Structure 1
Amino acid sequence: MSVTTELEARPFSGQLRESTRGVHDRANHSTYMNALLGGELSLAGYTQLAIQYYFIYQAIERVSDTMTGDAVGREFVFDELRRLPALERDLAGLVGPAWRTEIRPLASTEAYAARITQASAWAGGYVAHHYTRYLGDIAGGQVIRRLLEKNFDLTEAGSLFYHFDEIGSAPAFRDRYRGKLDAAPWDEAARAQVINETLVAFEHNVAVFDELALNLDRYRIA
């Protein structure tokens, strides 16, 4: 069986994962993420990422509010996943009580948020961006949570973004999510569109990390 045939024989969730593995790995091993996960950055260095996440999740969760009336999109609206309340508490602790007036999106973040809004005119585009962010936070994001708690003693405001207590078992939730991907009524052409938009979403993540990396020297622990 050829690689292409083998991929097509997999459930859609498996196709999506394998098709995006390369760019996913590139995002995880970007200069910024290597520095963060390597313990090289101060808490202020992590805060720059949390600020960008606020604008990204604001875009995604605004779309979630509109997807409740879409037959396909509403299957991927999970109130227990919403990150904005946790991010607001984190930023109040990381930046200060006036954080709303002090934070700004990077140019790459603005482009990412705009793409989320544009792509989500179709439920498949929404799902592509939703999948890219939330499933990554539930899984790999826990590495960052442990780093923040260990290096900066953040057990409350500061690392709440990575707390998913309301979903119950994380592996069970991921299986449930993948089941919804497999059951979504998309033909092969639509599935290809979802995969392509997921690749775009990962590229936007890489762009944000690359822009954050431009100021790494300001945040490196001496």
Structure 2
Amino acid sequence: MASTTAPSELDARPFSKVLRESTRAVHEKANHSTYMDALLGGELQLADYTRLAVQYYFIYRTIEQVSDRMTGDEVGSRFVFDELRRLPSLRRDLAYLVGADWESAIEPLPATMAYCQRIREVSAEWAGGYVAHHYTRYLGDIAGGQIIRRLLENTYGVQGPGTLFYHFDRLDSAPAFRDRYRARLDAAPWSEAERERVVAETLIAFECNVAVFDELDAEIGERTHP
């Protein structure tokens, strides 16, 4: 049911804009974590990136399992896009980066397990929680993820498999898709209180990503400074 209170900032502006601005600081925190700064600075080994790709496998497996359940939800189904699915690409990437036995060789970090549990729990009770995590991951991959794709190609010499996670060939136009996605955020039938919940959960989603980056950085530190 729509809110009956007076319009607030969340009501007065497009929700997609409010969501982006409300999460800008934590987004920057994630982008400039120690791990990401080192990765984007070309300071890490390819194996260090591989550990990130492994964590993405568990995260996206969870999100896309939830996507399968959201197809019958009035709101959640609006954010299920088969053209975004990353698991097929991640499987090919990990076969290249880890080896043919990658499925038995990988495991999630504790932060990744907590992240996946959060996605499952919040999505089970509320489609807005699913959207918060979906938005945080996929829109970032379409845009900022392309920097990592170029890094893998130019710094680490990885072409094709190993970089496929960042290829969105099924999108005719990435900018047009982002506009369409934001329009769905604006049109979602959430009350003011629900929009506030989406913002709050999106902040949590970014913090979950930061926790994964921090654990990856700690692993690197243990390896280089035993």
Tell me the TM-score normalised to structure 2 length.
0.93
The answer (yes or no) to whether the contact 2:10–2:195 under 8 Å persists in 1 is no
For structure 2, the residue ranges without an aligned partner over 5 or more in a row are 1-7
Partner amino acid for 2:23?
Answer: T
Residue 188 (str. 1) matches residue 196 (str. 2)? no
Q: What do the CA deviations read for 1:49-88 (whole angstroms, capped 9, x no partner)?
A: 0000000000000000000000110000000000000000
Partner amino acid for 2:100?
Answer: P
Question: Could you tell me which of 134, 159, 167 is aligned with 1:163?
Answer: 167
**Partner Cα separation in structure 2 for residue 20 and residue 26 of structure 1:** 10
Cα offset, 1:24, TM superposition: 0.3
Cα offset, 1:216, TM superposition: 2.1
Give the alignment of 1:11-30 within 5 angstroms. 11-30=14-33
Equivalent in the alignment of 1:43:
46
The answer (yes or no) to whether the contact 2:84–2:138 under 8 Å persists in 1 is yes
Cα offset, 1:215, TM superposition: 2.0
Give the alignment of 1:54-133 within 5 angstroms. 54-121=57-124, 122-133=126-137
Equivalent in the alignment of 2:177:
173
**Partner Cα separation in structure 1 for residue 121 and residue 149 of structure 2:** 31
**Partner Cα separation in structure 2 for residue 7 and residue 70 of structure 1:** 24
Question: Could you tell me which of 205, 210, 215 is aligned with 2:209?
Answer: 205
Equivalent in the alignment of 2:3:
none
The answer (yes or no) to whether the contact 2:10–2:192 under 8 Å persists in 1 is no
Q: What do the CA deviations read for 1:90-139 (whole angstroms, capped 9, x no partner)?
A: 00000000000000000000000000000102110000000000000000
Partner amino acid for 1:196?
Answer: A
Partner amino acid for 1:27?
Answer: A
Cα offset, 1:10, TM superposition: 1.6
**Partner Cα separation in structure 1 for residue 122 and residue 100 of structure 2:** 33
Tell me the TM-score normalised to structure 1 length.
0.95
Equivalent position SS for 1:177? helix
Quote the sequence identity (%): 69
Equivalent in the alignment of 2:4:
none
Q: What do the CA deviations read for 1:4-34 (whole angstroms, capped 9, x no partner)?
A: x666532000000000001000000000000
**Partner Cα separation in structure 1 for residue 24 and residue 223 of structure 2:** 29
**Partner Cα separation in structure 2 for residue 42 and residue 8 of structure 1:** 46
Equivalent position SS for 1:152? coil
Give the alignment of 1:136-155 within 5 angstroms. 136-155=140-159
Cα offset, 1:154, TM superposition: 1.6
**Partner Cα separation in structure 1 for residue 221 and residue 120 of structure 2:** 33
